[in-house]
Amino acid sequence: MPAKYYISTHPVPSRFPPVIRSGVIAWEEGCLKCVTCVKKECVYKVYEKRSLDPRQMVDTLDSICKDCFRCVQNCPNRLIEKGFNPAWKAAGDDYWTPEVLSNLWFQAETGRIPVSGAGYGGPFSGPGFDAMWTDMSEIVRPTRDGIHGREYISTTVDLGRKVKALTFEKGNGAVPASIPPLVELPLPAVFDLLPFSPPGRMVTRAILAAARQLKTLAVVRASDWGDDYAPYRENTLLYLDRPRPETDALLAGLRLVEIPDGPDALSLQAALKAKNPGLVVAIRAEAGEGSAERAAELTAAGAEAVHFVADFHGLDCTARPMFIKDRMRQIHLHLVDKGIRDLITIIGAGGVAMAEHMAKLIICGADAVAIDVPLLVAMECRLCKRCTQGIACPVELEGVETEWGAARILNLVAGWHNQLLEVLGAMGIREVRRLRGEMGRAMFYEDLEKEFAALGKRG
Amino acid sequence: MAEKSRFTFPKAKRTPTRFRNPLSKYRVRIGAACDNCGECVARCPYGVFRKGARRPKVIGDHLCLGPACKGGPAYCCITGCHVRAITVSINPSFEMLGDRRWTAELLAGSWYMAESGKLPYQGLNYKTGDSGGGFDKIRLVYPRENGHVRPEEVSCAVELNRSGDGRPRIAIPLPLYLGGMSFGSISIVSMLSRVRAAKALGTFCCTGEGGFPEELVPYSDHIITQVATGLFGVREETIKRVPMVEFKYAQGAKPGLGGHLLGDKVTPRVAAMREAVPGSALFSPFPFHSVYSVEDHKKHVDWIKEVNPRALVSVKVSTPTDVDMVAVGSYFAGAHIIQLDGSYGGTGAAPDIAKKNIAMPVEYAIPKVHKFLVEEGIRDKVTIVASGGIRTPHDMAKIIALGADAVCLGTADLVALECLRCHHCESGRGCARGIATTDDELTGLMNIEWGTQRIINLYLAWRTHLASVLARLGMRSVTELVGRTDVLVHTDYVKPGEIDGELD
């Protein structure tokens, strides 16, 4: 067995105080100066631990308060209140909610997975990934104990063209030399192009550095390539966005490249592979109405991998957008129908915001996922999108230190990896390749709701 | 044991908050202009004010109706105050409370029920939350004509052993019992409050998997002892002394994962009971490593039946997509009760990924299982208990109409003890409000009499609500409601004019 994949983490403090949900409002006027102030009785000692964050002159009180309301309820003159932080309500958008952002910040800072008490307090279901439930082990199924390390769960995936069965050469019985190359990644995630980002090259460098430490790949546009990225060449997934194929010098040492989908995609693939037989070529295509047919067409014509991309809200850019999980199900099931699913690697991208989404997209049929915005959020991005208007980044991402940024991304991915192990363990699955397309172990809102549509009728 | 005919419910006793100020939707303030004429104290029928030496004191903001107070927009205390010293405003802290499932109004409504034993009158929505689906979109439909059933005539009792196997035919006067919360995850005071309330209400309370503390022994007739995957604190004598034993195969809030008690909560006492090391986190394995087939499962059930010949056996499972098959398997293995634990239930601590969108919400699982067991012809032989996300008496009525016989509750009890769902049960010394903690100082924040009465009050109010729902449906027994999906509608799918009756 290969060496176990383990991501070693350490806490990486934020550079800026995070946006938090609520604030303590404590009035001074009317204070009775009690001998024992309720503030001194705080279980979490937040009033003792509070300090002024020197960077932004923000009181740290609110980020350590845990909302137990004891001081609110016990102050004799009722001078303490709690209130929503307006910046919290304004943060992010409907998809990248403040809850999602703070969950990512927590993981990037600590490298730990979010754990909480009491049940789930969120909505019943919702659009996108929230419209499916995963299914966990039951009484008589064997399960796996991965998270506590007593059993090894593999998260390795292979990207590239697969052969259905090994055929031997006629006559001498030798293994053919023409088995297509595969790129093996220790986790089913690559880092994608960012939908928006502050200018400069530091953000990409941090992402590349994290990809190197995590032994995965980060997509970089060939048009952006420069010598400063060269140290990370082995962990680069070069996207050949220039009209002409790159020079051989740039391709040497790369394991995987992407080319845009188009009428000549397959001939471009053939040309690239003729020069570099060891190279895996993925075709990058926008997810849309024809994706399932296109995937089948490309597979039949010998494509190795297709990377389907939706926008960062998980929607494809068509008149009637479909969410990536539904699109992925369509693509996967179409290839299954044609009996060619196992020949090709499908990478899904767009709207993957939480560890759970990675697992769910794989259940819906992706071999691997590509992550974009969470990489920025790991480095404290607040999704204000000011960078898209050329306004300065409030968390100064354009000058982010490579080492710090990479460590934050590493922590986040470590958290996601551990959560993927939780899901696999709880489902009794020992490797992530077995999770792909496992829709029988998931439940979909539209199916379950049929029960409710039938209410109100007798018998 | 609770005989239907002879059981008398305990009396509700007013049991106000342990803290100085109740958390309320409205804030009532008396300004400096007050001349202590006492008019407000005399006017307010709800007890918001109390006489004071210098000026009246506001002691019950949570009892105030706000703008709904009679007299319309002019509140009676406000208009009655001749110096205009009284203001009523929204409490800014109120919107900070709760979450989508347990909204601030649900919490405040439950706190009022726990304080008074009565249903809230303040206009708080104590029936539904804001989760946008499931219970929160399902409504009861009351017929225009109910056959003149009065709530006093309604029986809420259910039998738990329907198998006819000669074991006791235990009946509980309310279709609910209290679910497993282990010693360690909650304090001994919380645990005893729940157990004593269960006894007073003629029902049961489950120990959870942390063992059977000695303090609970006097209440053994009202205890369900749990056998879970970690087998923490499971002994033959604990199984022998109870009328019901529960196998916890899985927990809906975190299916596929075993229990998880963080190291900080493993005090020497907890460790001793669980035969573990103080300070080190305890994980229950998942699943039962001795159960790989329905036959193995039957061996488990037989083992308990052999050890305790009078015990009923309950099997608690979570809700995978083939939950109906699981239920049938459990029935044929000899379970008297199948508890289906849906995905929105509580837990002391779990990874967030294990709690969100995992397993089937109980609103889907119950009708699926009910129908399947009806088709198999065995529905009358087994009791289905629903749990995991049942917050209100209204939820209870809905899930029974969807096909459950009874419900199992946990979070609602904790809310009665003034849990406000801050979701920090797991951190450090545990719950800052002294409910889910093993820290001595925090445990001391609550006393057993107070806790017991709060839980009794809550469920007395639930009973009042359930009886009134049943009466309005024209039913004289809660058993008539089981599986009556025709009295429910889902607001997303019902068309206007399609309903004949009143929606609630």
Instruction: Give the Cβ contact number of residue A3 at 10 Å.
Output: 6
- Between positions 370 and 409 of B, the ones with CB within 8 A of A are 388-389
CA trace torsion A22, A28, A32, A36 (10° rounding): 50
Please count the structural domains in chain B: 2
Q: Which CATH number goes with the domain that contains B365? A: 3.20.20.70
- Cβ within 8 Å, pair B287-A143: yes
Q: Which residues of B touch A129 (CB under 8 A)?
A: 357
Instruction: Tell which of B70, B92, B114 closes a domain.
Output: B92
- Give domain status of residue A152, yes or no: no
DSSP B252-303: TTSTT---EE-GGG--HHHHHHHT--TTS-EE--SS-TT-SSHHHHHHHHHH
- Give domain status of residue B132, yes or no: no
Residue A229 C-alpha, separation from nearest chain B C-alpha, in angstroms: 35
Instruction: Supply the pLDDT for residue B3.
Output: 45
- Give domain status of residue B408, yes or no: yes
Q: Provide mean pLDDT across the span B22-46.
A: 92
Q: Provide mean pLDDT across the span B337-345.
A: 91
- A75 and A161 in one domain? no
Instruction: Supply the pLDDT for residue B178.
Output: 97
Instruction: Supply the pLDDT for residue A245.
Output: 56
- B163 and B71 in one domain? no
- Cβ within 8 Å, pair B287-A141: yes
Q: Which CATH number goes with the domain that contains A378? A: 3.20.20.70
By CA distance, what is B228's nearest residue in A?
A139
SS3 A324: helix
Instruction: Supply the pLDDT for residue B1.
Output: 43
Q: Which residues of B touch A121 (CB under 8 A)?
A: 98-102, 421, 423
- B312 and B405 in one domain? yes
- A273 and A169 in one domain? yes
Q: Provide mean pLDDT across the span B164-174.
A: 95
- B197 and B63 in one domain? no
> Domain residues for A70?
22-84
Instruction: Supply the pLDDT for residue B124.
Output: 93
Instruction: Tell which of A41, A56, A84 closes a domain.
Output: A84
Asked whether B336 and B302 are in contact (CB, 8 A), the reply is no
- A71 and A203 in one domain? no
- B332 and B219 in one domain? yes
- A335 and A439 in one domain? yes
For chain B, give the mean pLDDT: 90
Q: Which residues of A touch B131 (CB under 8 A)?
A: 122-124
**Checking DSSP bridges between strand A256-260 and strand A280-286, what pairing results, if any?**
parallel
- B76 and B163 in one domain? no
- A174 and A70 in one domain? no
Asked whether B482 and B404 are in contact (CB, 8 A), the reply is yes
Closest Cα partner for A435 from A168, A155, A230?
Answer: A155
* Distances, alpha carbon B196 to alpha carbons A282, B168, B199, B435, in Å: 65, 22, 5, 16
- B276 and B179 in one domain? yes
- B169 and B83 in one domain? no
Residue-wise pLDDT tens for chain A (459 aa)? 567 888 999 999 999 988 989 889 888 888 999 999 999 989 888 888 888 777 666 777 888 888 999 999 999 999 999 998 999 989 999 999 999 999 999 999 999 999 888 888 999 999 999 999 988 755 545 555 555 556 788 999 999 999 888 778 777 877 776 788 999 999 999 999 999 999 999 999 999 999 999 999 999 999 899 899 999 999 999 999 876 655 677 787 899 999 999 999 999 999 999 988 899 999 999 999 999 999 999 999 999 999 999 999 999 988 899 999 999 999 999 999 999 999 999 999 999 999 999 999 999 999 999 999 999 999 999 999 999 999 999 999 999 999 999 999 999 999 999 999 888 888 888 899 999 999 988 999 999 999 898 888 754
Q: Which residues of B touch A451 (CB under 8 A)?
A: 364, 367-368
Instruction: Tell which of B63, B92, B121 closes a domain.
Output: B92
Q: Which CATH number goes with the domain that contains A32? A: 3.30.70
The reply to whether omega before B287 is within 30° of 0 (cis) is yes
| CA gap A324, A369 in Å, rounded | 11
- Give domain status of residue A12, yes or no: no
Instruction: Tell which of B92, B123, B140 closes a domain.
Output: B92
pLDDT tens digits, residue range B170-200? 999 999 999 999 888 899 999 999 999 999 9
- Give domain status of residue A417, yes or no: yes
What band does B2 get if pLDDT is binned at 50, 70 and 90?
A: very low
Instruction: Supply the pLDDT for residue B476.
Output: 95
Q: Is B231 exposed, middle or buried (0-12, 13-18, 19+ CB in 10 A)?
A: middle
Residue B164 makes CB contacts below 8 A (sequence gap 6+) with B381
Q: Which residues of B touch A361 (CB under 8 A)?
A: none
- B223 and B84 in one domain? no
pLDDT tens digits, residue range B40-61? 998 888 999 999 999 999 999 9
- Give domain status of residue A106, yes or no: no
Residue B309 C-alpha, separation from nearest chain A C-alpha, in angstroms: 24
Residue A216 makes CB contacts below 8 A (sequence gap 6+) with A185, A186, A187, A189, A190, A191, A235
Q: Which residues of B touch A456 (CB under 8 A)?
A: 141, 485-486, 488-490, 494, 498-499
* Distances, alpha carbon A339 to alpha carbons A148, A295, A325, A333, B333, in Å: 38, 12, 21, 10, 41
Instruction: Give the Cβ contact number of residue B171 at 10 Å.
Output: 18
SS3 B385: strand
ipTM: 0.92
- B165 and B66 in one domain? no
What band does B428 get if pLDDT is binned at 50, 70 and 90?
A: low
> Domain residues for B250?
151-489
- Given B100, B323, B354, which is nearest A123 (Cβ)? B100
Asked whether A233 and A211 are in contact (CB, 8 A), the reply is no
Please count the structural domains in chain A: 2
What Rg do the C-alpha atoms of chain B give, in angstroms?
A: 23
- Cβ within 8 Å, pair A84-B436: no
Q: Provide mean pLDDT across the span B320-341.
A: 93
Q: In angstroms, how far is CA B371 from the centroid of its own chain?
A: 25
- A164 and A71 in one domain? no
- B190 and B325 in one domain? yes
| CA gap B155, B80 in Å, rounded | 45
- Give domain status of residue B398, yes or no: yes
- B37 and B156 in one domain? no
Q: Provide mean pLDDT across the span B144-156.
A: 89
A to B CB pairs, distance under 8 Å: 273
Instruction: Supply the pLDDT for residue B76.
Output: 80
Task: Judge whether B296 is closer than 8 Å to chain A, CB to CB.
Answer: yes
- Give domain status of residue A99, yes or no: no
Q: Is A17 exposed, middle or buried (0-12, 13-18, 19+ CB in 10 A)?
A: middle
Is the overall model pTM greater than 0.90, yes or no? Answer: yes
Asked whether B135 and B395 are in contact (CB, 8 A), the reply is yes
Q: Is B268 exposed, middle or buried (0-12, 13-18, 19+ CB in 10 A)?
A: exposed
Q: In angstroms, how far is CA A221 from the centroid of its own chain?
A: 20
In which region does residue A197 sit, left (phi positive, over 0), alpha (psi from -120 to 50) or beta (all else)? beta
* Distances, alpha carbon A305 to alpha carbons A156, A268, A346, in Å: 16, 14, 6
- Give domain status of residue B11, yes or no: no
By CA distance, what is A355's nearest residue in B?
B353
Instruction: Supply the pLDDT for residue A2.
Output: 60
Instruction: Supply the pLDDT for residue B4.
Output: 47
Angle between helices B393-402 and B362-376 (to 10 degrees): 30
Length of chain B as a residue count: 504
CA trace torsion B474, B477, B478, B481 (10° rounding): -50
SS3 assignment for A197-225: CCCCCHHHHHHHHHHHHHCCCEEEEHHHC
Closest Cα partner for A107 from A401, A379, A372?
Answer: A379
Q: Check residue A455 and report its DSSP letter.
A: T
pLDDT over threshold 60, residue B348: yes
- Between positions 318 and 377 of B, the ones with CB within 8 A of A are 318, 320-323, 326, 329-330, 343-361, 363-364, 367-368
Instruction: Supply the pLDDT for residue B75.
Output: 65
Q: Which CATH number goes with the domain that contains B35? A: 3.30.70.20
- Cβ within 8 Å, pair A124-B138: no
- Give domain status of residue A151, yes or no: no
Instruction: Supply the pLDDT for residue A346.
Output: 98
Instruction: Tell which of A41, A62, A84 closes a domain.
Output: A84
- B156 and B87 in one domain? no
Q: Which residues of A touch B360 (CB under 8 A)?
A: 133, 135, 443, 448
Residue A165 makes CB contacts below 8 A (sequence gap 6+) with none
Asked whether B35 and B43 are in contact (CB, 8 A), the reply is no
- Give domain status of residue A120, yes or no: no
- Give domain status of residue A435, yes or no: yes
Instruction: Supply the pLDDT for residue A312.
Output: 97
Instruction: Tell which of A65, A84, A103 closes a domain.
Output: A84
Q: Provide mean pLDDT across the span B254-259.
A: 72
